[in-house]
Amino acid sequence: MDIKNQGIILYGAHWCPDCRQSKQFFGENQIPYKWVNIEMDKAGEKFVVEKNNGKRIIPTIVFPDGSILVEPSNAELAAKLNLKTKAEKSHYPLIIIGGGPAGLTAALYTAREGIDTLVIERAALGGQAAATQWLDNVPGYADGIAGFEYCDQLRKQTERFGVEILQAQNVINVFSKDNYHHVQTADGSEYTAKALLIASGSHYKRLNVRGESEFIGAGIHFCATCDGPFYKGEKIVVVGGGNSATEESVFLLNFVEHVTMLVRGDKLNASKILVDKIAHVENKGKIDVRYHWEVESFSGSGGKLSSVMIKNNQTGEQEVINPAGVFIFIGLSPNISFLKNSGVLTNEWGFIITGHDLLHGENHALVFEGKEPAPFETNIPGIFVAGDVRSGSTKQVASATGEGATAALLIREFLKTV
């Protein structure tokens, strides 16, 4: 079943946490669907009640083949969508955690070297790059390329060389024992490898203000590509002033009527081309940039965001605004929750320290018995890192692919020694 070209309908309500979980699953895996809010759609509510024997149970999800899942787990959704979540073997020479540009490029290189490789990805292949509307700075694409298309081509190229890929599978623990690296997943499976590559990427930071957690997925979002279409003709807010915030603000104008950008500093910290784009649409009245303004809290009712308290960090002035939705792009945090038992060293922000950087700092004790770790290798021999999750990475698609290729070649040499 080609779900990319057929419709999935998700019946739910904004206040429903299970509905938000299903929406997030579809968004993370780049699966298109139609959202029906039964609080606003009486026909939709009637359909849900009829299909659930008189009960109003949500989410109720209808698939193109006519089948229905009610309150499904992520595992049930993955099975229904034929996403592979269990590996064929229990041991591999190399396991790659993360299926973004760094992880997929590394897998492409190692597979071509004849190294049996398993890639485990918790969401959509391509990571944040897949959710990026347009990539203009990837070498080889003179006119640019859509993020999803680029990542889909990378996936196909990787699979052509026989790489085994698990999707919608969370890695929950990594540890090393008896010369093997162990990887445990949320479904209870455990895999071992001689070498690991951590390419788990990063995610957008939260504001950590009152009301934020309550309205995520119900008015607060972190993915313009995933959730922008739900705000056609509306006025929305974007929080942030960096490259992501400026780029996504311009992209959101494909759907929304107006964007208000809240920037805590006195200028946009973005590339000149993006700043120029903002100035261009600002002159047309499509975007307002408000400098020195920060979010104080979010409020709403019925599980849906309705107002935002903002504050000027220079004057102390407060104001309540009422956007249809808020998109937050204020920087990145590494995806490393599964490393708590690994012994892998990170910096103060949680990004993984590798290579020569391990020689500096009082806490960076090495276990390499007299030799320096290789570039992109952690303090645990045989565990390598590439892409956004690595301390010192530049958080760019082109550099992530380069790091993936380099890490793959280093892993090839490491495997010759074990």
Decide: helix, strand or coil at residue 391: coil
Q: What is the pLDDT of residues 181-233, one digit of tens each?
A: 999 999 899 999 999 999 999 988 999 999 998 888 778 988 887 778 889 99
Q: What is the pLDDT of residues 297-347, one digit of tens each?
A: 999 987 789 999 999 999 999 999 999 999 999 988 999 999 999 999 999
Q: What is the pLDDT of residues 12-36, one digit of tens each?
A: 988 787 888 888 888 777 788 999 9
H or E segment at 268? none
Beta-strand relationship, 91-97 and 117-120: parallel
Residue with tokens 């301390």: 391
Where are the alpha helices (H) located in 83-239, listed in sequence order? 101-112, 127-130, 147-160, 212-215, 224-227
Q: What's the CA gap between 56 and 104, in Å, rounded?
A: 42
Q: E-assigned strands of 66-189?
A: 68-70, 91-97, 117-120, 164-166, 171-177, 180-185
**Which range (40-54, 130-144, 402-416) has the least confidence?**
130-144
